[in-house]
Structure 1
Amino acid sequence: MSLSRTLSETFAPVVDLVYPPRCPLCGEGLAAQTGLCTACWSELVIPGEPCCQRCQRPFSVDSASGLTCAPCQQRPPPHDGVYAATLYNDTARQLVLNFKHGRKIALAPMLARQMAARLPELDGEWLAVPVPLHRWRLWKRGFNQSALLAQQLAKREGISLCVDGLQRVRATPSLGGQNRRQRADTLKGAIRVKPSKAGMIGGAQILLVDDVLTSGATSNACVAALKAAGAAKVKIACFSRVLEEAMKPPTKNARRFPSGRSRDDNAGTSR
Protein backbone atom coordinates (compact mmCIF):
# COMPACT_ATOMS: atom_id res chain seq x y z
CA MET A 1 0.00 0.00 0.00
CA SER A 2 1.36 3.43 -0.95
CA LEU A 3 2.11 6.11 1.63
CA SER A 4 -0.43 8.50 0.08
CA ARG A 5 -3.18 5.89 0.29
CA THR A 6 -2.24 5.05 3.88
CA LEU A 7 -2.38 8.72 4.89
CA SER A 8 -5.66 9.20 3.05
CA GLU A 9 -7.30 6.27 4.84
CA THR A 10 -5.86 7.38 8.19
CA PHE A 11 -7.08 10.96 8.07
CA ALA A 12 -10.34 10.43 6.17
CA PRO A 13 -12.41 10.06 9.38
CA VAL A 14 -10.93 13.30 10.72
CA VAL A 15 -11.71 15.16 7.50
CA ASP A 16 -15.27 13.79 7.51
CA LEU A 17 -15.68 15.00 11.10
CA VAL A 18 -14.49 18.53 10.32
CA TYR A 19 -16.17 18.70 6.90
CA PRO A 20 -19.22 16.40 6.99
CA PRO A 21 -19.63 14.74 3.57
CA ARG A 22 -22.61 15.90 1.55
CA CYS A 23 -24.12 15.04 -1.80
CA PRO A 24 -22.64 17.51 -4.31
CA LEU A 25 -26.03 17.86 -6.03
CA CYS A 26 -28.65 18.24 -3.29
CA GLY A 27 -26.50 18.76 -0.20
CA GLU A 28 -27.93 15.80 1.71
CA GLY A 29 -25.59 14.45 4.36
CA LEU A 30 -23.73 11.23 3.56
CA ALA A 31 -22.18 8.61 5.81
CA ALA A 32 -18.95 8.96 3.81
CA GLN A 33 -17.82 10.98 0.81
CA THR A 34 -18.39 8.21 -1.71
CA GLY A 35 -20.44 10.06 -4.31
CA LEU A 36 -24.07 11.13 -4.54
CA CYS A 37 -26.96 10.39 -2.24
CA THR A 38 -29.23 7.49 -3.12
CA ALA A 39 -31.97 9.77 -4.47
CA CYS A 40 -29.62 11.60 -6.85
CA TRP A 41 -28.00 8.38 -8.03
CA SER A 42 -31.44 7.03 -8.86
CA GLU A 43 -32.03 9.95 -11.25
CA LEU A 44 -29.01 9.11 -13.42
CA VAL A 45 -29.80 6.92 -16.43
CA ILE A 46 -27.30 4.61 -18.10
CA PRO A 47 -27.60 3.31 -21.67
CA GLY A 48 -29.20 -0.10 -21.66
CA GLU A 49 -28.94 -3.24 -23.73
CA PRO A 50 -29.45 -4.04 -26.53
CA CYS A 51 -27.79 -1.11 -28.22
CA CYS A 52 -25.95 -0.20 -31.42
CA GLN A 53 -22.49 -1.77 -31.55
CA ARG A 54 -21.07 1.41 -33.11
CA CYS A 55 -22.59 4.32 -31.17
CA GLN A 56 -24.20 2.69 -28.08
CA ARG A 57 -27.60 4.15 -28.98
CA PRO A 58 -30.15 1.94 -27.17
CA PHE A 59 -32.76 0.20 -29.31
CA SER A 60 -36.37 0.90 -28.35
CA VAL A 61 -37.37 -2.76 -28.74
CA ASP A 62 -35.70 -6.06 -27.96
CA SER A 63 -33.28 -7.13 -30.67
CA ALA A 64 -30.21 -9.27 -31.09
CA SER A 65 -26.85 -8.00 -29.88
CA GLY A 66 -24.16 -6.87 -32.31
CA LEU A 67 -26.52 -4.86 -34.52
CA THR A 68 -25.91 -1.40 -35.99
CA CYS A 69 -28.53 1.36 -35.80
CA ALA A 70 -29.94 3.03 -38.92
CA PRO A 71 -28.06 6.34 -38.47
CA CYS A 72 -24.72 4.50 -38.24
CA GLN A 73 -25.59 2.41 -41.31
CA GLN A 74 -26.50 5.51 -43.30
CA ARG A 75 -23.52 7.55 -42.12
CA PRO A 76 -20.83 5.32 -40.55
CA PRO A 77 -19.09 7.23 -37.74
CA PRO A 78 -15.32 7.76 -37.95
CA HIS A 79 -14.74 6.36 -34.46
CA ASP A 80 -14.57 2.72 -33.39
CA GLY A 81 -17.13 2.85 -30.61
CA VAL A 82 -18.74 5.16 -28.04
CA TYR A 83 -19.01 4.29 -24.35
CA ALA A 84 -21.09 6.66 -22.20
CA ALA A 85 -21.61 6.29 -18.47
CA THR A 86 -24.98 8.06 -18.53
CA LEU A 87 -27.61 9.47 -20.84
CA TYR A 88 -27.81 13.24 -20.55
CA ASN A 89 -30.72 14.46 -18.44
CA ASP A 90 -31.24 17.22 -15.87
CA THR A 91 -29.35 15.35 -13.16
CA ALA A 92 -26.38 14.51 -15.37
CA ARG A 93 -26.37 18.09 -16.63
CA GLN A 94 -26.20 19.53 -13.12
CA LEU A 95 -23.42 17.12 -12.17
CA VAL A 96 -21.36 18.11 -15.20
CA LEU A 97 -21.99 21.82 -14.59
CA ASN A 98 -20.85 21.48 -10.98
CA PHE A 99 -17.73 19.69 -12.16
CA LYS A 100 -16.86 21.98 -15.05
CA HIS A 101 -18.18 25.43 -14.15
CA GLY A 102 -18.67 25.01 -10.40
CA ARG A 103 -15.01 24.00 -10.17
CA LYS A 104 -15.79 20.87 -8.16
CA ILE A 105 -12.85 19.02 -9.67
CA ALA A 106 -12.95 16.54 -6.78
CA LEU A 107 -15.84 14.93 -8.69
CA ALA A 108 -13.41 13.64 -11.35
CA PRO A 109 -12.64 10.28 -9.67
CA MET A 110 -16.34 9.53 -9.16
CA LEU A 111 -17.24 10.42 -12.75
CA ALA A 112 -14.33 8.36 -14.06
CA ARG A 113 -15.48 5.35 -12.02
CA GLN A 114 -18.81 5.40 -13.81
CA MET A 115 -17.09 5.80 -17.18
CA ALA A 116 -14.78 2.87 -16.46
CA ALA A 117 -17.77 0.70 -15.57
CA ARG A 118 -19.11 1.11 -19.11
CA LEU A 119 -15.88 0.40 -20.95
CA PRO A 120 -15.26 -2.97 -22.58
CA GLU A 121 -12.04 -4.79 -21.81
CA LEU A 122 -9.24 -2.86 -23.49
CA ASP A 123 -7.04 -5.50 -25.09
CA GLY A 124 -3.44 -4.59 -25.81
CA GLU A 125 -1.82 -1.19 -25.35
CA TRP A 126 -4.09 1.84 -25.17
CA LEU A 127 -3.44 5.55 -24.85
CA ALA A 128 -5.90 7.94 -23.16
CA VAL A 129 -6.13 11.33 -24.90
CA PRO A 130 -8.52 14.09 -23.74
CA VAL A 131 -10.54 16.36 -26.01
CA PRO A 132 -8.55 19.62 -25.94
CA LEU A 133 -9.53 23.14 -24.94
CA HIS A 134 -8.26 26.22 -26.72
CA ARG A 135 -5.50 27.86 -24.68
CA TRP A 136 -7.66 30.90 -23.89
CA ARG A 137 -10.51 28.71 -22.61
CA LEU A 138 -8.00 26.70 -20.60
CA TRP A 139 -6.51 29.89 -19.13
CA LYS A 140 -9.96 31.21 -18.23
CA ARG A 141 -11.23 27.98 -16.65
CA GLY A 142 -7.93 26.93 -15.13
CA PHE A 143 -8.26 23.26 -16.05
CA ASN A 144 -9.41 20.94 -18.81
CA GLN A 145 -12.22 18.81 -17.41
CA SER A 146 -11.64 16.13 -20.06
CA ALA A 147 -7.97 15.92 -19.09
CA LEU A 148 -8.91 15.35 -15.44
CA LEU A 149 -11.21 12.51 -16.48
CA ALA A 150 -8.54 11.06 -18.79
CA GLN A 151 -6.03 11.05 -15.93
CA GLN A 152 -8.43 9.17 -13.69
CA LEU A 153 -9.44 6.70 -16.41
CA ALA A 154 -5.84 5.98 -17.37
CA LYS A 155 -5.04 5.30 -13.73
CA ARG A 156 -8.03 3.00 -13.25
CA GLU A 157 -7.55 1.09 -16.50
CA GLY A 158 -3.77 0.85 -16.25
CA ILE A 159 -3.21 2.48 -19.63
CA SER A 160 -0.89 5.24 -20.79
CA LEU A 161 -1.89 8.91 -20.83
CA CYS A 162 -1.04 11.67 -23.30
CA VAL A 163 -2.72 14.72 -21.81
CA ASP A 164 -1.61 17.05 -24.62
CA GLY A 165 -1.84 14.69 -27.58
CA LEU A 166 -4.38 16.97 -29.27
CA GLN A 167 -4.29 20.74 -29.68
CA ARG A 168 -7.11 23.17 -30.31
CA VAL A 169 -5.19 25.64 -32.47
CA ARG A 170 -8.12 27.91 -33.24
CA ALA A 171 -10.87 29.20 -30.97
CA THR A 172 -14.33 28.34 -32.26
CA PRO A 173 -17.79 29.76 -31.47
CA SER A 174 -20.55 27.72 -29.91
CA LEU A 175 -21.89 24.98 -32.17
CA GLY A 176 -25.43 25.43 -30.87
CA GLY A 177 -27.98 26.05 -33.62
CA GLN A 178 -25.65 24.91 -36.40
CA ASN A 179 -26.46 22.04 -38.73
CA ARG A 180 -24.10 19.13 -39.40
CA ARG A 181 -22.27 20.81 -42.27
CA GLN A 182 -21.94 24.12 -40.43
CA ARG A 183 -20.49 22.40 -37.37
CA ALA A 184 -17.96 20.58 -39.54
CA ASP A 185 -16.99 23.84 -41.23
CA THR A 186 -16.63 25.60 -37.88
CA LEU A 187 -14.25 22.92 -36.60
CA LYS A 188 -12.30 22.48 -39.83
CA GLY A 189 -8.61 22.88 -39.04
CA ALA A 190 -9.31 23.78 -35.40
CA ILE A 191 -8.00 20.54 -33.88
CA ARG A 192 -4.77 18.74 -34.66
CA VAL A 193 -2.33 16.28 -33.16
CA LYS A 194 0.45 18.09 -31.35
CA PRO A 195 3.51 17.69 -33.60
CA SER A 196 5.78 16.59 -30.75
CA LYS A 197 3.29 13.83 -29.83
CA ALA A 198 2.80 12.44 -33.34
CA GLY A 199 5.18 9.59 -32.59
CA MET A 200 2.98 8.44 -29.70
CA ILE A 201 -0.21 8.65 -31.75
CA GLY A 202 0.96 6.80 -34.86
CA GLY A 203 -0.12 3.16 -34.70
CA ALA A 204 -1.68 3.57 -31.25
CA GLN A 205 -5.08 2.51 -29.97
CA ILE A 206 -6.61 5.70 -28.59
CA LEU A 207 -9.23 6.16 -25.90
CA LEU A 208 -10.57 9.66 -26.57
CA VAL A 209 -12.01 11.12 -23.36
CA ASP A 210 -14.67 13.83 -23.02
CA ASP A 211 -17.16 14.90 -20.37
CA VAL A 212 -20.26 15.19 -22.59
CA LEU A 213 -20.87 13.95 -26.12
CA THR A 214 -23.49 16.17 -27.76
CA SER A 215 -23.70 16.37 -31.56
CA GLY A 216 -20.43 14.48 -31.98
CA ALA A 217 -18.91 17.23 -34.14
CA THR A 218 -16.00 17.96 -31.79
CA SER A 219 -15.25 14.30 -31.10
CA ASN A 220 -15.41 13.53 -34.83
CA ALA A 221 -12.89 16.31 -35.49
CA CYS A 222 -10.63 14.80 -32.83
CA VAL A 223 -11.01 11.31 -34.29
CA ALA A 224 -10.21 12.62 -37.77
CA ALA A 225 -7.05 14.32 -36.50
CA LEU A 226 -5.93 11.21 -34.61
CA LYS A 227 -6.52 8.87 -37.54
CA ALA A 228 -4.83 11.30 -39.93
CA ALA A 229 -1.79 11.01 -37.65
CA GLY A 230 -1.90 7.23 -37.97
CA ALA A 231 -3.93 6.09 -34.96
CA ALA A 232 -4.93 2.46 -35.46
CA LYS A 233 -8.20 2.70 -33.54
CA VAL A 234 -10.11 5.41 -31.65
CA LYS A 235 -12.81 4.68 -29.09
CA ILE A 236 -14.67 7.44 -27.27
CA ALA A 237 -15.37 7.43 -23.53
CA CYS A 238 -17.60 10.11 -22.01
CA PHE A 239 -19.52 10.64 -18.81
CA SER A 240 -22.77 11.65 -20.50
CA ARG A 241 -24.30 11.27 -23.94
CA VAL A 242 -26.99 13.55 -25.35
CA LEU A 243 -29.76 11.39 -26.82
CA GLU A 244 -33.50 11.91 -27.10
CA GLU A 245 -33.99 8.70 -25.14
CA ALA A 246 -32.78 10.40 -21.96
CA MET A 247 -35.40 13.11 -22.22
CA LYS A 248 -38.24 10.57 -22.11
CA PRO A 249 -39.44 8.34 -19.25
CA PRO A 250 -36.99 5.41 -18.88
CA THR A 251 -37.83 2.17 -20.65
CA LYS A 252 -36.59 -1.32 -19.91
CA ASN A 253 -33.68 -0.60 -22.26
CA ALA A 254 -32.55 2.47 -20.32
CA ARG A 255 -31.67 1.51 -16.75
CA ARG A 256 -31.35 3.77 -13.76
CA PHE A 257 -28.63 3.12 -11.21
CA PRO A 258 -30.44 0.75 -8.83
CA SER A 259 -30.58 1.80 -5.18
CA GLY A 260 -27.80 4.31 -5.67
CA ARG A 261 -25.32 1.66 -6.81
CA SER A 262 -23.15 1.74 -9.90
CA ARG A 263 -21.76 -1.35 -11.56
CA ASP A 264 -18.33 -0.48 -10.24
CA ASP A 265 -17.20 -1.01 -6.62
CA ASN A 266 -20.38 0.42 -5.05
CA ALA A 267 -19.42 3.92 -6.18
CA GLY A 268 -22.86 5.33 -5.58
CA THR A 269 -23.57 3.83 -2.17
CA SER A 270 -24.22 6.35 0.60
CA ARG A 271 -22.28 4.49 3.28
Structure 2
Amino acid sequence: MLINLLFPPRCAGCRAEGPLCCPRCLGAFGPPLPVPVSGKGPPVFALSHYAGTGRELVLAFKERGRRELATVFGALVAEALPALPGVRPDEFGKWWLVPAPSRRAAARRRGGSHLVGIARASGASVAPILAFARGVRDSVGLDAAARRANLSGRVRLRRSGLPPPGTAVVLLDDVVTTGATASACGAVLAAAGFRVSAVLTLTAARSTHPPG
Protein backbone atom coordinates (compact mmCIF):
# COMPACT_ATOMS: atom_id res chain seq x y z
CA MET A 1 0.00 0.00 0.00
CA LEU A 2 1.12 3.57 -0.70
CA ILE A 3 0.83 4.58 2.94
CA ASN A 4 3.27 1.81 3.89
CA LEU A 5 5.73 3.12 1.31
CA LEU A 6 5.45 6.65 2.67
CA PHE A 7 5.29 5.62 6.33
CA PRO A 8 6.86 2.16 6.75
CA PRO A 9 5.54 0.15 9.72
CA ARG A 10 7.77 0.32 12.77
CA CYS A 11 8.10 -1.80 15.86
CA ALA A 12 6.26 -0.09 18.73
CA GLY A 13 9.06 -1.11 21.09
CA CYS A 14 12.34 -0.25 19.39
CA ARG A 15 11.06 1.77 16.39
CA ALA A 16 12.86 -0.49 13.90
CA GLU A 17 11.22 -0.79 10.50
CA GLY A 18 9.31 -4.01 10.17
CA PRO A 19 6.52 -5.73 12.10
CA LEU A 20 4.30 -4.14 14.71
CA CYS A 21 6.36 -5.81 17.41
CA CYS A 22 9.69 -7.27 16.35
CA PRO A 23 10.80 -10.68 17.66
CA ARG A 24 13.44 -9.13 19.93
CA CYS A 25 10.91 -6.85 21.63
CA LEU A 26 8.34 -9.62 21.83
CA GLY A 27 10.98 -11.63 23.67
CA ALA A 28 10.65 -9.25 26.61
CA PHE A 29 7.45 -11.14 27.48
CA GLY A 30 7.64 -14.66 28.77
CA PRO A 31 5.55 -17.20 30.66
CA PRO A 32 3.56 -15.92 33.65
CA LEU A 33 5.67 -15.54 36.78
CA PRO A 34 4.27 -14.96 40.29
CA VAL A 35 4.47 -11.44 41.69
CA PRO A 36 4.66 -11.01 45.48
CA VAL A 37 2.11 -8.42 46.61
CA SER A 38 0.98 -7.36 50.05
CA GLY A 39 -2.50 -7.89 51.45
CA LYS A 40 -5.16 -10.45 50.72
CA GLY A 41 -6.28 -11.41 47.27
CA PRO A 42 -5.83 -13.87 44.44
CA PRO A 43 -2.34 -14.83 43.21
CA VAL A 44 -0.81 -12.32 40.81
CA PHE A 45 1.23 -13.20 37.71
CA ALA A 46 3.05 -11.00 35.19
CA LEU A 47 4.47 -11.58 31.73
CA SER A 48 7.24 -8.96 31.86
CA HIS A 49 8.78 -6.21 33.97
CA TYR A 50 7.51 -2.65 33.77
CA ALA A 51 10.88 -1.47 32.54
CA GLY A 52 12.72 -1.29 29.25
CA THR A 53 10.89 -2.89 26.34
CA GLY A 54 7.94 -4.11 28.40
CA ARG A 55 7.23 -0.63 29.68
CA GLU A 56 7.74 0.92 26.24
CA LEU A 57 5.21 -1.39 24.60
CA VAL A 58 2.59 -0.88 27.32
CA LEU A 59 2.95 2.90 27.09
CA ALA A 60 2.80 2.80 23.29
CA PHE A 61 -0.47 0.92 23.55
CA LYS A 62 -2.04 2.90 26.40
CA GLU A 63 -0.84 6.43 25.83
CA ARG A 64 0.59 6.75 22.31
CA GLY A 65 -2.24 5.46 20.17
CA ARG A 66 -0.76 2.12 19.13
CA ARG A 67 -4.06 0.34 19.71
CA GLU A 68 -3.21 -2.27 17.10
CA LEU A 69 -0.96 -3.78 19.78
CA ALA A 70 -4.14 -5.29 21.25
CA THR A 71 -3.63 -8.23 18.90
CA VAL A 72 -0.07 -8.75 20.15
CA PHE A 73 -1.02 -8.53 23.82
CA GLY A 74 -4.14 -10.62 23.21
CA ALA A 75 -2.02 -13.42 21.77
CA LEU A 76 0.31 -13.25 24.79
CA VAL A 77 -2.66 -13.47 27.16
CA ALA A 78 -4.16 -16.41 25.25
CA GLU A 79 -0.86 -18.27 25.50
CA ALA A 80 -0.49 -17.45 29.22
CA LEU A 81 -3.94 -18.54 30.43
CA PRO A 82 -3.33 -22.34 30.23
CA ALA A 83 0.02 -21.83 32.01
CA LEU A 84 -1.48 -20.17 35.11
CA PRO A 85 -1.23 -22.57 38.06
CA GLY A 86 -4.60 -23.82 39.22
CA VAL A 87 -6.54 -21.91 36.57
CA ARG A 88 -8.92 -23.85 34.35
CA PRO A 89 -11.57 -22.98 31.74
CA ASP A 90 -15.22 -23.49 32.61
CA GLU A 91 -17.20 -26.65 31.82
CA PHE A 92 -17.70 -25.44 28.24
CA GLY A 93 -13.99 -24.83 27.70
CA LYS A 94 -14.28 -21.04 28.02
CA TRP A 95 -11.72 -18.86 29.74
CA TRP A 96 -13.31 -15.85 31.46
CA LEU A 97 -11.43 -12.57 31.66
CA VAL A 98 -12.54 -9.58 33.73
CA PRO A 99 -10.58 -6.45 32.68
CA ALA A 100 -9.53 -4.16 35.52
CA PRO A 101 -11.41 -0.86 35.31
CA SER A 102 -9.98 2.47 34.15
CA ARG A 103 -10.84 5.94 35.37
CA ARG A 104 -13.49 7.50 33.15
CA ALA A 105 -11.26 10.37 32.05
CA ALA A 106 -8.47 7.98 31.07
CA ALA A 107 -10.85 5.72 29.14
CA ARG A 108 -12.27 8.69 27.24
CA ARG A 109 -8.78 9.90 26.36
CA ARG A 110 -7.81 6.47 25.07
CA GLY A 111 -10.99 5.91 23.09
CA GLY A 112 -12.28 3.20 25.42
CA SER A 113 -10.92 0.58 27.76
CA HIS A 114 -7.56 -0.63 26.49
CA LEU A 115 -7.83 -3.79 28.58
CA VAL A 116 -11.17 -4.77 27.06
CA GLY A 117 -9.48 -4.62 23.65
CA ILE A 118 -6.73 -6.98 24.80
CA ALA A 119 -9.19 -9.36 26.44
CA ARG A 120 -11.31 -9.58 23.29
CA ALA A 121 -8.24 -10.09 21.11
CA SER A 122 -7.28 -13.07 23.28
CA GLY A 123 -10.34 -15.02 22.18
CA ALA A 124 -11.51 -15.52 25.78
CA SER A 125 -14.97 -14.72 27.07
CA VAL A 126 -14.87 -11.13 28.29
CA ALA A 127 -16.88 -9.68 31.17
CA PRO A 128 -16.19 -5.91 31.52
CA ILE A 129 -18.20 -5.78 34.75
CA LEU A 130 -16.00 -3.60 36.98
CA ALA A 131 -15.96 0.18 37.13
CA PHE A 132 -14.47 2.89 39.30
CA ALA A 133 -16.82 5.18 41.17
CA ARG A 134 -16.20 8.92 41.20
CA GLY A 135 -13.34 10.11 43.32
CA VAL A 136 -10.65 7.66 42.23
CA ARG A 137 -7.41 9.53 41.58
CA ASP A 138 -4.56 8.68 39.26
CA SER A 139 -2.43 6.24 41.27
CA VAL A 140 0.93 7.37 39.86
CA GLY A 141 3.14 8.43 42.75
CA LEU A 142 0.93 6.94 45.48
CA ASP A 143 2.42 4.47 47.96
CA ALA A 144 0.74 1.19 48.90
CA ALA A 145 -1.36 2.63 51.72
CA ALA A 146 -2.49 5.59 49.61
CA ARG A 147 -3.41 3.30 46.72
CA ARG A 148 -5.57 1.15 49.00
CA ALA A 149 -7.27 4.23 50.45
CA ASN A 150 -7.81 5.63 46.95
CA LEU A 151 -9.73 2.50 45.90
CA SER A 152 -11.50 1.74 49.16
CA GLY A 153 -15.22 1.44 48.43
CA ARG A 154 -14.76 2.84 44.93
CA VAL A 155 -14.76 -0.34 42.82
CA ARG A 156 -18.30 -1.26 41.82
CA LEU A 157 -19.90 -4.13 39.96
CA ARG A 158 -21.93 -3.55 36.82
CA ARG A 159 -25.05 -5.69 36.73
CA SER A 160 -25.09 -6.22 32.97
CA GLY A 161 -22.93 -8.78 31.19
CA LEU A 162 -22.25 -10.87 34.30
CA PRO A 163 -20.78 -14.36 33.79
CA PRO A 164 -22.85 -17.31 35.02
CA PRO A 165 -23.06 -17.47 38.84
CA GLY A 166 -20.00 -19.04 40.45
CA THR A 167 -17.81 -18.72 37.35
CA ALA A 168 -14.07 -18.78 37.91
CA VAL A 169 -12.52 -15.69 36.33
CA VAL A 170 -9.09 -14.20 35.72
CA LEU A 171 -8.64 -10.49 36.39
CA LEU A 172 -6.64 -8.82 33.60
CA ASP A 173 -4.50 -5.72 34.12
CA ASP A 174 -1.59 -4.04 32.35
CA VAL A 175 0.74 -3.36 35.29
CA VAL A 176 0.84 -4.34 38.94
CA THR A 177 2.66 -2.10 41.41
CA THR A 178 1.45 -2.74 44.97
CA GLY A 179 -1.43 -5.12 44.30
CA ALA A 180 -4.04 -2.64 45.58
CA THR A 181 -6.12 -2.80 42.39
CA ALA A 182 -5.99 -6.59 42.30
CA SER A 183 -7.07 -6.80 45.93
CA ALA A 184 -9.92 -4.30 45.60
CA CYS A 185 -11.26 -5.82 42.39
CA GLY A 186 -10.90 -9.36 43.71
CA ALA A 187 -12.90 -8.49 46.82
CA VAL A 188 -15.78 -7.05 44.78
CA LEU A 189 -15.87 -10.07 42.47
CA ALA A 190 -15.73 -12.50 45.40
CA ALA A 191 -18.58 -10.67 47.14
CA ALA A 192 -20.64 -11.11 43.96
CA GLY A 193 -20.07 -14.87 44.02
CA PHE A 194 -17.28 -15.19 41.47
CA ARG A 195 -14.02 -17.01 42.14
CA VAL A 196 -10.99 -15.03 41.03
CA SER A 197 -8.53 -17.79 40.15
CA ALA A 198 -5.67 -15.40 39.40
CA VAL A 199 -4.68 -11.91 38.34
CA LEU A 200 -2.77 -11.76 35.05
CA THR A 201 -0.87 -8.58 34.24
CA LEU A 202 1.24 -7.69 31.24
CA THR A 203 3.96 -6.17 33.40
CA ALA A 204 5.03 -5.86 37.03
CA ALA A 205 6.67 -2.82 38.58
CA ARG A 206 8.21 -5.06 41.21
CA SER A 207 10.21 -8.29 41.17
CA THR A 208 8.75 -11.48 39.78
CA HIS A 209 9.81 -14.87 41.10
CA PRO A 210 10.08 -18.15 39.26
CA PRO A 211 7.82 -20.80 40.80
CA GLY A 212 9.31 -23.23 43.28
Q: Normalised by the size of structure 1, how large is the TM-score?
A: 0.64
Gaps in structure 1 of 5+ consecutive residues = 1-12, 58-70, 247-252, 254-271
Provide the rounded CA distance (Å) in 2 between the counterparts of 1:146 and 1:111. Answer: 10
Deviation per residue, 1:38-85 (Å, 9 max, x gap) = 44345x25368xx6xxxx14xxxxxxxxxxxxx67xx66411x33322
What is the SS of the residue equivalent to 1:119? helix
Among candidates 70, 90, 112, match of residue 52 of structure 2:
90
Cα gap change, 1:21 to 1:175, in 2 (>3 Å): closer
What is the SS of the residue equivalent to 1:137? helix
Residue 144 of structure 1: how far off its partner (Å): 1.2
Residue 134 of structure 1: how far off its partner (Å): 2.7
Q: Aligned runs of 1:183-222 on 2, under 5 Å?
A: 183-197=147-161, 199-200=162-163, 202-222=165-185
Cα gap change, 1:201 to 1:18, in 2 (>3 Å): farther
Cα gap change, 1:36 to 1:196, in 2 (>3 Å): closer
The answer to whether the aligner puts 1:23 opposite 2:8 as a matched pair is no
Provide the rounded CA distance (Å) in 2 between the counterparts of 1:213 and 1:185. Answer: 16
Among candidates 107, 126, 146, match of residue 138 of structure 1:
107
Gaps in structure 2 of 5+ consecutive residues = none
Letter in 2 for 1:160: S
Letter in 1 for 2:121: Q
Equivalent pair of 1:201/1:226 in contact (CA under 8 Å): no
Cα gap change, 1:103 to 1:88, in 2 (>3 Å): same
Residue 221 of structure 1: how far off its partner (Å): 0.9
Letter in 2 for 1:27: R
Letter in 2 for 1:166: L
Among candidates 46, 56, 62, match of residue 30 of structure 2:
46
Cα gap change, 1:178 to 1:20, in 2 (>3 Å): closer
Equivalent pair of 1:169/1:191 in contact (CA under 8 Å): yes
Provide the rounded CA distance (Å) in 1 between the counterparts of 2:95 and 2:29. Answer: 28
Residue 232 of structure 1: how far off its partner (Å): 2.5
Bigger Rg over Cα: 1
Provide the rounded CA distance (Å) in 2 between the counterparts of 1:184 and 1:226. Answer: 17
Provide the rounded CA distance (Å) in 2 between the counterparts of 1:147 and 1:19. Answer: 28
Provide the rounded CA distance (Å) in 1 between the counterparts of 2:164 and 2:157. Answer: 8
Deviation per residue, 1:231-266 (Å, 9 max, x gap) = 0234212211122469xxxxxx6xxxxxxxxxxxxx
| Aligned residue pair count | 204
Cα gap change, 1:114 to 1:200, in 2 (>3 Å): closer
Provide the identity percentage: 29
Higher helix share: 1
Letter in 1 for 2:134: R
What is the SS of the residue equivalent to 1:106? helix
Residue 230 of structure 1: how far off its partner (Å): 0.6
Letter in 2 for 1:118: A
The answer to whether the aligner puts 1:233 opposite 2:196 as a matched pair is yes
What is the SS of the residue equivalent to 2:193? coil
Provide the rounded CA distance (Å) in 2 between the counterparts of 1:177 and 1:20. Answer: 37
Q: Normalised by the size of structure 2, how large is the TM-score?
A: 0.80
Provide the rounded CA distance (Å) in 2 between the counterparts of 1:143 and 1:118. Answer: 24
Residue 119 of structure 1: how far off its partner (Å): 2.3
RMSD (Å) for aligned C-alpha atoms: 3.0
